[in-house]
Chains A and B, each alone.
Chain A
Amino acid sequence: MSMLSMRDIKRRIRAIKNIQQITRAMKMVAAAKLRRSQGQLLSSRPYFQKLEEVIGRLASAPEARNLPLIAEREVKRVGYVVITSDRGLAGPYNSNIIRVAEAALLQEHRDRSMVLIGKKGWQFFRRYPFELLEVVTDIGDEPTLLQAREISSKLVEFFLKKRVDEIQLVYMHFISALRHMPKVDQFLPIIPAPLPERVREREYLYEPEPLKVLEYLLPRYCEMRIYQALLEAKASEHAARMMAMENASKNAEEMIDQLTLSFNKARQAAITKEILEVVTGAEALKWQGQI
């Protein structure tokens, strides 16, 4: 560092300031997107929870266990759906998901297939020898219900056509802007939510009959689960990017401080040197006069 000239130091400070401006801007953008994702997540929850509750109630009937989306069968092949982001610069977001997914896949003793959502997961897992059933990229900043519906119907088809006998979902569970955790959830066959204790077995009038209602609701429920997972993953991604850019801006600040210090030292050294030269010159003249 001390070898740098004052001009070099100035140039570096300018360059880092430019980078800092970019990271600050990216942080602001991520924060705005996070707010929207959180809003989306929050407003979809009441619908999802009610659907989950109704399905839990309907599926508690013994004959529901035989419905194709609920019935368990011997598992020869497991499908892993891994949700990552398309873009990087999100701190440890993708590597955390990939680490958990990789561990789950390597521990799996049955045959494995993969469905990859997001470019980052694809870039990592394409070199693995697992069968790739589907790759979905470019989900965008705000996942839509339509996207979830398309993904869900493909997954349901893989399951019903017995290309896989079980599907696990690996995604980032969003807890708060500061906390998210990778999660592995069984997607199919559906494990109905247990009935809450306080719900007494109320008698209901069904139209049409309960099993028909359940059959209609199950695919909806699958769509909503994918939608929720996409929303949670996206909110976590924005939050992770926001934090990463915050750290980058702080680091830039530190570097600028250090370089400014070096710059001042270099300036001081130059001044000292100049004074020294003047003094030496004057001394020399004095000596000449004496001769």
Chain B
Amino acid sequence: MASLILEVITPLKKVLEEEVESVVVPASEGYMGVLPRHFPALALLRPGVLTYRPVGGALERMAISGGFVEVGPRKVLVLADAAEMPGEIDVERARRAMERARERLRRPHPGIDIERARLALERAKARLKVAETR
């Protein structure tokens, strides 16, 4: 059975290196599914949930806060700004961040960076979604 190596690295450390059957990444223009022998690709990522299936295992999830992905025929390399496994997520903090971002988007002051608030909201949502799966 064909498989892929999934590698996730952040500026601080290597988060994951595992043999997987499939990966779905939150690419900038929508979720992108990757199976073995995918055409080489380079895509930007937005904050979201990365899903992967380890060989012979069940689906796993990880929260990603932007970055980019390089897809080769046998390898998926994710360079994420930050990446968290379900056990590492601070749910309380994510919830507060989500509230804050929603509040900002609901009543935008002139001084507020809307794009930043939107990204913060997406990050918080991704974290909460991943934390739930545990």
Contact = CB atoms under 8 A, between A and B. Distances in A.
A205 interface: yes
B42 interface: yes
* Interface size class of chain B, counting residues whose CB lies under 8 Å from the partner chain: 20 to 34
A145 B13 CA distance: 12
Contacts, number: 58
Interface stretch (A39-47, A108-116, A154-162, A278-286): A39-47
Interface string A131-154: 000000000000001000000000
B98 to A, nearest CB: 21
Chain B interface main SS type:
strand
Contacts of B111: none
Nearest to A144: B12
Contact of B44 (A47, A51, A202, A213): A213
A205 B42 contact: yes
A47 B77 CA distance: 10
Interface residues of A, number: 24
Contacts of A213: 42-44, 68
B29 A208 contact: yes
B117 to A, nearest CB: 18
A207 interface: yes
Contact of A43 (B12, B40, B41, B43): B12
Interface of B: 9-14, 27-29, 32, 39-44, 68, 70, 77, 79
Interface of A: 40, 43-44, 46-48, 50-51, 54, 145, 202-208, 210, 212-213, 216-217, 224, 227
